[in-house]
A and B are shown apart, each in its own frame.
Chain A
Amino acid sequence: MKRFVLILVLITAIFIVEANEFERLKTIEARGIQNPDLYYNLGVTYWQTGQSGMATLYFLKTLNLNSAHKLAKENLNYALNLSQDRDLYTPKLFLVDLFMQVYDYMNLNRLALLSLVFLLFACISFIWFVDYDPNKERGLPSLTFGACLFFLLISISFLGFKAYRRNHNNLAVLVVESAELRSEPDESAARVAQIHEGIILSMRKVESHWTLVNLPNGQSGWIELRNIATVIES
């Protein structure tokens, strides 16, 4: 009997601690703190409380801040693999997948530092190019400068794109158990598809309390805004 009571007390204590932790995380978030680890932990907590939609949303929020967050990426994949609409996610080609891995690894801050390094290299190579003996062939300095300039431009392009996407992320997640996609922004319009909690949607435009979204397989339709939560809070 004593053992039973002890186990009961322990279980209750664990639940209380978890509940307290959840409240603490939500309080920190309410203070406006944007931190990938905070979002990740919130995602895990939402998952543990059975809210797969909110969990997916918070893993996406984590990756929006830091695309190189490995754990968030793995948990997002885990959640998507278990979602009812997993078949809608078309598998990527190997090279595309490889590129995306590298692209994700280079998060905004890493890209910013890389751009700085390429800028330094480009400047040095340019000075070398200019200062090179005019009576000699300039093949090596021009090649070095060209390569550095090329990588600098690529790096700056990705940096700009990532910075823009971070502030204009149009992804959203269905947070209700299921919902129907309509052909028009009207409840009586024809049903396009039925989708389930946790599916990732790409928002295209908003009209009144409806939004036009794209499913992972490219299919599009209208859904009521109250059914979804967006990665960037408007």
Chain B
Amino acid sequence: MKRALLVILVLLPIVMDALSVTASVNKTTIELNDRLEYTIRIKSENKIEVSEPQAPKLELFSFVNMTSSSRSSSSIINFKVQKEYERSFTYIYVPLKQGSISIPAQSIKVDNKVYNTQAIDVDVVKASGSSSKRSIPPQGFTDIFDEGFPWASHRNTGNTMLLALPQRQTVYKGEPVIVSYYLYTDQMVRSFNLDDERDFPGYGKSIYEQPNSLDYESVTHQGKRFQRALIKKLVLLPNQIGELRAPELQGSARIYEFGYMNYPLRSNDAWLEVKPLPTAEVPKGYTGAVGRFSVSEDISSKEINLGEAVTFSLRIAGKGNFNQFGNPQFPQSEAQTSSPLAIDKLNAGIEGSRVLYYTIIPSEKGVYNLPSVSFSWFDPQSGAYNVYRSKSQAIKVKSANVISYFSGLLDSGKPQTLRPMLSRSVYKQYPNYLKQIWYWLLVAIILIGTAVALYFCLHRIKRLRDPESYAKLMADKVLKKYLTEAENAAKEGSDLFYSLSENGLIRYISDKYNIAMGLSTAQKMLMLSKLNIPQDLIDDTSRFVDICESHRFSGAQTDVTAIIHDLEKLKSLVARFSRLGARR
């Protein structure tokens, strides 16, 4: 009873699960000129998510094509809506020879559960004369896939394949070899997706070429016409001797054949034989270069001043394992010699040129003999080692001079190393002098100082050029000042008017006619008369001065009307003097 319950419990989920996977064939007995259609059908009440099962490998048959379809239906039974989904995969084979086989049970994974189909027996018999013709004509790949190629087990679809073609079958250790991966097809391959690249031990690699699109070319392969497109070119650098397996590419081709289908593809096994480098006659200082190289040298100058540097360059061009050999070192000498600076112009690290720059600074004047640098490599084509030795050259080193001291100023364009970080504990905002107030203050001071200096300069120039006009100008200025002050005193009725008037008038006359201020009034009047000043004006001036003096020394309060009257007299005198012009 317990056993029965256990069995029921185990079987219950299977019974309850409405998903079924079945396999069927169109015929169990196939004639040689007919075709076999093997169908795997998956039915479920829910949507089915399943990846395409791999086509079973059948003896006696050649796989031709695969189609897939999906279907869904709804029905109402007892007022209940029932849905059914179906996916089917049909694999088409053509028989190759008579016999009996059993198509093995297939394992299909749906929603993380594995379902097994039943095995089916199929007989292949001789074609009868009245037999129907093949619905898909044979593409003639039978011999190619199953017998012509050693990688027949890796073919994926009928007439599309991914081939790995090494440039050479036998290489030396370290010798770069290019492996090309081509898509060969006679179908309508719309695109190719590269999914994976599987590596094997024994080599280093780099990409040599990888086109973005399928560019087809027509080729004949094994007597058949194909279209082929380059998928990828890899450079392999073997690092161990013996058998070496090239990387394996995996991807899928999208082919149009009654609808689009994705075919998984995998490249064939490509093997190389890696030979060791000869151990005999290995040159001294050999650093592992393998390839075909041409070497040349150059020197920047043969005559320098002491303290200057000379640059020796060694150019290695050609095809080889550039990234696997060490750069030759300059032999020790009396001069300071830098490690080489290598500048590469390489494609995929194997083709192009490398220029090695050595900076040499002789330490003594005289003749410096540049030692010979040697570079050796193994040439796979000739199977022998080659050595290049640079010429031993003499460099004339002259005494240093001032110019040679400055010669390093322009050498910063090609530094040999990266300069280190600066040790700073604090980083302050970098000042911009143009935004500093002190800067513009200095500009203002300079400009104002210049303006002031110019003012005095112009006065000086005027005095030098025309002394009389300058004296008149100055007198007018003085007079104007005294007149203004006297006028103000007059308006206020102050006795100061007379002292200001006298001072102003006497100074004006002194400045204008260049009469010494220290003379008495009488002497000044005498001087005026000598200068041909009208006598009436001299008399009026003398009288006015006397009035001023009498008021200054009397000490009595003066009537305002009298002051105003005397102001008018003063103005009249000044006007008369002004009309007379400058010195006489």
Residues of A within 8 A of B (CB): 21, 28, 33-38, 40-41, 44-45, 47, 65-66, 70-71, 73-75, 77-79, 81, 86-87, 97-98, 101, 108-109, 112-113, 116, 119-120, 123, 126-127, 130-131, 133-134, 159, 163
Contact = CB atoms under 8 A, between A and B. Distances in A.
Interface of B: 343, 345, 409-410, 412-422, 424, 427-434, 439, 442-443, 446-447, 449-450, 453-454, 457-458, 460-461, 464-465
Given A116-B442, A119-B443, A73 B412 contact: yes
B421 A44 contact: yes
A64 B460 CA distance: 50
B427 A28 contact: yes
Contacts, number: 101
A79 B434 CA distance: 32
Given A78-B418, A116-B443, A120-B446, A41 B424 contact: yes
A130 B421 contact: no
Nearest to A70: B412
Given A35-B428, A109-B432, A126-B450, A71 B414 contact: no
A74 B439 contact: no
A21 B429 CA distance: 19
Nearest to B413: A77
B41 to A, nearest CB: 44
A131 B450 contact: no
A95 B447 CA distance: 37
20 contacts: A28-B427, A33-B427, A33-B429, A35-B427, A36-B430, A44-B421, A66-B430, A78-B415, A87-B345, A97-B410, A108-B432, A116-B442, A116-B443, A123-B446, A123-B447, A123-B449, A127-B450, A130-B458, A131-B457, A134-B461
A98 B410 contact: yes
A101 B412 CA distance: 10
Contact of B439 (A28, A112, A131): A112
A134 B461 CA distance: 8
Given A116-B443, A127-B453, A44 B418 contact: yes
Given A36-B430, A97-B410, 19 more contacts: A35-B430, A38-B424, A38-B427, A41-B422, A44-B420, A65-B430, A74-B412, A77-B412, A77-B415, A78-B416, A81-B414, A81-B415, A112-B434, A120-B446, A127-B453, A130-B458, A130-B461, A131-B461, A159-B434
A162 to B, nearest CB: 10
Given A75-B419, A78-B418, A163-B434, A134 B428 contact: no
Nearest to B428: A35
A120 B439 CA distance: 13
Contacts of A77: 412-415
B415 to A, nearest CB: 4
Nearest to A97: B410
B450 A123 contact: yes
Contacts of B458: 130
A66 B431 CA distance: 10
Contacts of B442: 116
Given A75-B418, A119-B446, A123-B446, A37 B434 contact: no
Contacts of A47: 418
Contacts of B465: 134
B410 A45 contact: no
A71 B412 CA distance: 9
Contacts of B410: 97-98, 101
Contacts of B417: 78
Nearest to A110: B433
B427 A37 contact: yes
Contact of B343 (A74, A81, A98): A81
A179 B515 CA distance: 93
A74 B419 contact: yes
B78 to A, nearest CB: 59
Contacts of A70: 412
A119 B445 CA distance: 11
A97 to B, nearest CB: 7
Q: 6 nearest interchain CB pairs? A: A123-B450, A131-B457, A112-B433, A38-B427, A35-B427, A71-B419
B414 A116 contact: no
A34 B410 CA distance: 29
Contacts of A131: 453, 457, 460-461
Contact of B422 (A40, A74, A97, A120): A40
A87 B421 CA distance: 28
Nearest to B461: A134
B464 A134 contact: yes
Contacts of B418: 44, 47, 75, 78-79
A98 B413 CA distance: 12
Nearest to B451: A123
Contacts of B424: 37-38, 41
Contacts of A28: 427
Contacts of A41: 421-422, 424
Contacts of B427: 28, 33, 35, 37-38
Nearest to A159: B434
Contacts of A98: 410
B434 A74 contact: no
Nearest to A131: B457
Nearest to B447: A123
B26 to A, nearest CB: 48
A151 to B, nearest CB: 15
Contacts of A81: 343, 414-415
A34 B442 CA distance: 26
Contact of A71 (B413, B422, B461): B422
B434 A108 contact: yes
Nearest to A91: B413
A188 to B, nearest CB: 13
Contacts of A36: 430
Given A119-B443, A131-B460, A45 B433 contact: no
Nearest to A130: B457
A28 B430 CA distance: 13
Nearest to B424: A37
Given A41-B421, A78-B417, A101-B410, A34 B429 contact: yes
B535 to A, nearest CB: 40
Contacts of A159: 434
